[in-house]
Structure 1
C-alpha cells in the first residue's frame, strides 16, 4: 500500500509539472492606453499610464512625438509622471513595449494643459501672406498654419466655400493651374468659434493646354469644331493653328487658307480658348491639326488627328427614301389617271348614256303591275347551258355544238330593236328609281307586243335585282 501511495504522489507531481510547462508560453506584448486624451490644468500632477500584456514581462519606454520628453518627467514601470505640468508639456506621448518575442507594440496619449487663468480663443499667427505665388510645375509646395489658444486649437485647411478639408501643413506634390484658388486656415478650440484666415494661391507659368480626344472622326459635308482650351497666367500672347495634310504638306492656318475655315479666340477665367471651325468639311481637310499657345514663360501645343469619311449614312437614307416615295406616288397617280380616262373612253365607245340622278320622275300608276312570265324567256330566265359544260374542263379538242352558238330567244340585239325609236308608240315608259340600274334604259311595258304585258291578274312580281340580272345575262 505504501508503494502505491508513493507512485500516486509521484504521478501527481509529474502532472502538475506538465501543466505548468504548458501554460508558460512566450507571447509578444500588447499595449493599451488607459486614457487616450488628458486635459489637465497647468501646475497640477499628471500620471500618463499604459497597460501591457506580455510573456515574459517587459518594461515600457516613453517618448514625446512632437518634441523631447520633459526633463521633470519620470518613468515608473508602465507610467510617466509629471509633478507640475506646464503649457510646454502639451503634446502627444507614446508608450512602447518590447520583450524580444515577436514585434513591439505601442499606444499614444494626448496631453492638453489648460492655463490657470481663463481660457483663450484660438489665434492664427502670421506665417503666410494673403496671396502666395507658385511657379507652374513646382513640386513639394506647402503652406503651414500656426495658432495659439487655450485649449490648444486644432488646425486644418480647406478650399473657400467648400467642406473639403486638408491636413496642416497644406502641401501639393505638383503645382498646376487646377491647384490655383483661395484656401482657408481653420483653427478650432473647444468652447470657442473657429478662427479662419484666407490666402490665395496664384499659379503662374507657361501655358497648359487641357487634354481630350486626340482622334476625331467626321463626315463629308458636316461641320467640324476643334476646341483648344489653354490655361495660362499671364494670358497667352498668341494661339496659332497649323495643319499637316495626309500628303505631308504643312500649312500655318489663317482665316483664308481654304473655304469654310473660321478661327476665333475667347478669354476664360483660367486663360483663353482657341476655336477652329470648318463648315462644310471635305475629304481634302483630313490630316493633323496642331494648336500652339505661347506666353512669356514658354509654350505648349496639342495635336488633333481628323479623319473625314464619306457623306453621312442617314443623309443618303433620307434622300433615297424621299426619291422612292416620290416615284411610288407618281406611279400610283398615273395609274389612277389612266384608269379614269380609260373608263371614260370605254363608255364613249360602247355608247353608254349617262343617266342623270333625278328622282323627280312621275309616280307609277297604282293599277299597273309589272310581271314577267317564264314563257317570255322560253320557259327559263337563264341562258341555255352549252353542251360542252358537261365535259372535262381540262380536256382538249373541245368541239362546240351549233345550238350553243345560237342567240337566245330574246337576245340583246332583239331587245335593242324592241327599245328603238321605231317602237316608241307601242311601248309605255315606266319611271322610277327602282328600275334604274347601271347604264340600262328604264324598262318599258307593252300592251300587246313584245315580252312585257300589262294585266290585272295576280302574278308573281319580278324583283328588281333578279330582273336586272336576267337582262344583263341576256
Structure 2
C-alpha cells in the first residue's frame, strides 16, 4: 500500500470551471486526490463469477446414415453453466464457418445447428465434433461430443481398369482383379457377357485356352443401389492350337468310298494357310495342293478349318496325311493315318449271303427232323391193315410123331414125315444159311431180343421163308399160313408170332 500522504492542500476554483482538487503529498510530490466513490454493488465494478458446464453437449439426428447427394442437418445443445457456453462445430480440427451454422439461445441453454448442403462419397467417415467452451479457461475446461458420419454411396468400379486385356495361350495362371469402392461394401463377381456363367473376384484361369477369349463383365452389387458393370475383353494370343485329342488320328475306309479329312485350328493371329502333306506306305512324302485334291479352308473368328477330300479311294491312297500350320508364336501339326480296306464286290457278296441263309435253313430243318424222330413225334412204324391174314381156325397142334423114310431109288435124301391131323406130310428140307433180308423178310422196329436168342430167330426166318423162297410176288394166304404153322412149332414156349405182313412175317419181342 502507498504511504499515507503527509499534507493535503486545497486549491481554489480554476477559471476553467474545474472543481477544486485536493492535493496530497506523496513521496515529496503533490498529486491530485481521487474523488470519493459512490456506493455500488460488487458486480458494477467489473467483478464476476463462473459456473462450469457439468456435461458434454448433446448431438441429435446422427443415428440414421445418409446417402451421397442428400443434405445433412445436425444439432448440438448444451444446457446450464454460467456464463452460458459458446458452441463450435469442427470437421476434424477445422471449424465450420458461420455460413454452415445457426446459433440459438433458449433460457438456460444454447443450441448450434450444422447444415451441409450436399454430401459426397468423400464425406463418408468425417469426424464431426461439437465443443462447448466458457471464459476463464484456467478455471473451466471445454466439453466435447463427436460422431463419425456414415454416408452411403453406390458401387464405383475403378475407372483405371483397361477395356481390353491380353492373355497368352497355354498360360498356367491368369488372373484379373476388379477394384470396386462403395458403402456398404459391394459384392463383386465376374460373368461372361450375355451368359449366366459367373466366377468369383478376382477372375482366374489355371490354363488359358483360345475358348477363354471373349467379353467379360465385372459386376458390383450393393444393397439399396443399382447394379454396376464394367466390360473387359480378354484377348488370347499365342501359337496355333489343333482341336481334338493328341497329335495323331486313325481313319479307315473301304475301297471306292469318299474320304474327308479335316483339321480345325485356333490361333491369334490366324495363320495364312494350312499345308497338307501325304506320306505313303513306303515313306515318300508329297505336298498336296488344290490342283490335285479338293482342299477347302474356312475362317470364323479365331478359328480356321481345312478339309481334304479324296474320292473313290484305293489301296494305293493309304498312308499318313499331315496337316501343318504356323504363326508368329509357333507351329502345330497333326498326323492322320488312313487305312484302306479291300471291299468284296456286291455280285459276290449277295450269292454268298443267300447260300449261307439256305445252308442255315437246311441245317435247322434236319436238326428238327432228327429231334422229332427221336421223340417219336414222326416216322412211327405201323402195320398194314389192308391185308387181313387173321387165322380162321385155331393154331394147329404140334405133330405127334415124326417118321424117317429110307433112301428113295431116285436118289432123294431121306424125308422126315410128320403126322398132322392124322395125315403124314413131308417135312421141308433145311435151307442154306442165308440172311433173312435176302429173301424179302422184314421185322418191326418194336422187336427186341437178347444176344443168346438171335441165332434162333434167324433159323426161324429161314424155315418160314421155305415155302416161297426166291419169290417176290404171288405169295398167297395158304403159303403164309403154312409158314405161320412152322414158326409156331419152332418157337413154342419161347417166341410168339405177330400178325404177318403182306411181304413177310413180323416178329415182336418176347
TM-score, normalisation: structure 2: 0.40
Query: Bigger radius of gyration, 1 or 2?
Result: 2
